[in-house]
Amino acid sequence: MSRFLFYIFVVYLKLVYAKSGFLDNAATANADFTPCSQNTSTATLRIVLVIDTSTNMGSTNLRQIGLSLSSELSEYTISNKTLDTVCADTYCWNASNSVSYNSNVAIVTYSDTYTLVGDFSDFASNADVNSALLSLKPSSSNSVNGLIGALKLAYNLSDVSDPVPFKKSLAVLWFPASVKNLTLFEVAIGGRTAMYREELVAVNYNPNDRNLTNMLNQLEIPYIFNKTQPNIYDNIHWALLQLNCHCGFNVEFQPKVYNKKINQWEKTADCFIFKVTKEDTKFCQNHPEIAIDSDVKFSAMQEAGHAYNITSVILGLHKNNKNQWMWYDYNGGEFQMNNFTKWAPNQPSSGDCVIAKTLDNQETTPYLWYTMPCNLTHSNTDTCQVLACDASRQWFCGLGRYY
pLDDT of residue 286: 67
Q: Among candidates 28, 38, 27, which has minimal Cα distance to 267?
A: 38
CA distance 215 to 194: 12
pLDDT tens per residue across span 28-80: 555 688 899 999 998 989 999 999 999 999 999 999 999 999 999 999 999 98
pLDDT value for 380: 62
Contacts of 17 (CB under 8 A, 6+ apart): 23, 97, 396
Q: What is the pLDDT of residue 18?
A: 37
Q: Provide the whole-model pTM.
A: 0.81
Q: What is the pLDDT of residue 81?
A: 80
> Given pLDDT bands bounded at 50, 70 and 90, which one contains residue 109?
very high
Q: Average pLDDT of the chain?
A: 81
d(CA 170, CA 199): 6
pLDDT higher than 80, residue 159: no
* pLDDT tens-digit readout, 176-205: 999 999 999 999 998 888 778 889 999 999
- Name the residue type at position 162: D
* Range 314-318 average pLDDT: 90
Phi, psi of 64 (to 5 degrees): -65, -40
pLDDT for residue 349 is more than 50 = yes
State mean pLDDT over 81-95: 46
Q: In the chain, what are the domains? A: 3-35+252-257+265-387 (3.10.100.10), 40-244 (3.40.50.410)
- 75-95 as b/e, with b when 16 or more CB fall inside 10 Å? ebbbbbebbeebbeeebbeee
Task: Please say if the pLDDT value at position 128 is more than 60.
Answer: yes
Q: Which of 10-19, 163-172, 186-195 has the highest mean pLDDT?
A: 186-195
Please name which of 329, 372, 335 lies closest in space to residue 353, comparing C-alpha atoms.
Answer: 372
Share of the chain above pLDDT 70, in %: 76
**Helices (H), ranges, 78-224:** 83-87, 126-133, 147-157, 184-185, 193-196, 210-218
Quick check: 87 pLDDT over 60? no
What confidence tier does 403 reach under pLDDT thresholds 50, 70, 90? very low
